[in-house]
Amino acid sequence: MNTPSPQGISIQVRGLRKSLGGQPVLNGLDFEVRQGEIFVIMGPSGSGKTVLLKHLIGLLDPDEGEILIEGEPIGQPGVMDRHRMAMVFQSGALLSSLNVGDNVGLYLSEHRRKPPAEIARIVAEKLELVGLKGAEQRMPADLSGGMRKRVAIARALVIEPQLIFYDEPTSELDPLIAVTIGEEILRLNRRMQVTSVVVTHDRELAFGIADRIALINDGEIVFIGTPAEVKANPHPLLHQFLTADFNFDTKRHAP
């Protein structure tokens, strides 16, 4: 099987601020996602991580600050088109009326990027990559939660992405299947040399796959570091993060 290896791309976030309904949600975020790394974003509900993800994929515009893809502001014409980015949604977002093969090849067929025989070859290749060889004719309703996630990942891979975003990839999965999905993300990142940004509540996933972890709370970055650095840092919020207490507030626990 001949699988191309796209070159991962970098993201720079500078002074990112956003308010929704008059309430500040992001409060001047600054960080970089390095080329080819797995960068995990974690935080409690309401911390701002979902709003941040929507900015990174271009669904929201910041009130202040900027996001750069390989040094280019994403708002500039053509920037998003020049870089191949894919999204794996929390729900999988498979179309129930289409079989697995048609779901995976949907982008290519709708945009008429390839002839049907070539699309079928690409779909088969990507399904094999995620361990679902020969599953083209199966329907989403007949798949387990873990299999649906893997189909969603295969669909993201058909564009040969340089950057993949994952939104809560292990949500609603049992622990064993969650580990399998984590292993899949790690394997694909290394094999295809892509950059991966993962938004998750799952600490086991984060420490299992991340090159670096960013902990966000109250619209601010609390800490960015490797899993080992997160575990070693004495910051009280990181301790609460490690002990599963997400009911924290940066203003009550200033270092």
Tens of pLDDT, residue by residue over 16-28, are 999 998 899 999 9
If you search the block for the tokens 């040094």, which residue do you land on? 71
SS3 content of the chain, % helix, strand, coil (to 5): 35, 25, 40
CATH C-level class of 1-84+162-255 = alpha beta
Residue 237: other Cβ atoms inside 10 A: 23
DSSP state of 172: T
DSSP state of 142: G
Q: In what order do the strands lie in the sheet with 163-167?
A: 85-88, 163-167, 195-199, 38-42, 212-217, 220-225
Angle formed at CA 160 by CA 214 and CA 86, multiple of 5 degrees: 45
- pTM (predicted TM-score): 0.85
The ranges of the chain annotated as CATH 3.40.50.300 are 1-84+162-255
Gap between the terminal Cα atoms of the chain: 52
Tens of pLDDT, residue by residue over 216-249, are 988 999 999 999 998 888 888 777 777 765 444 4
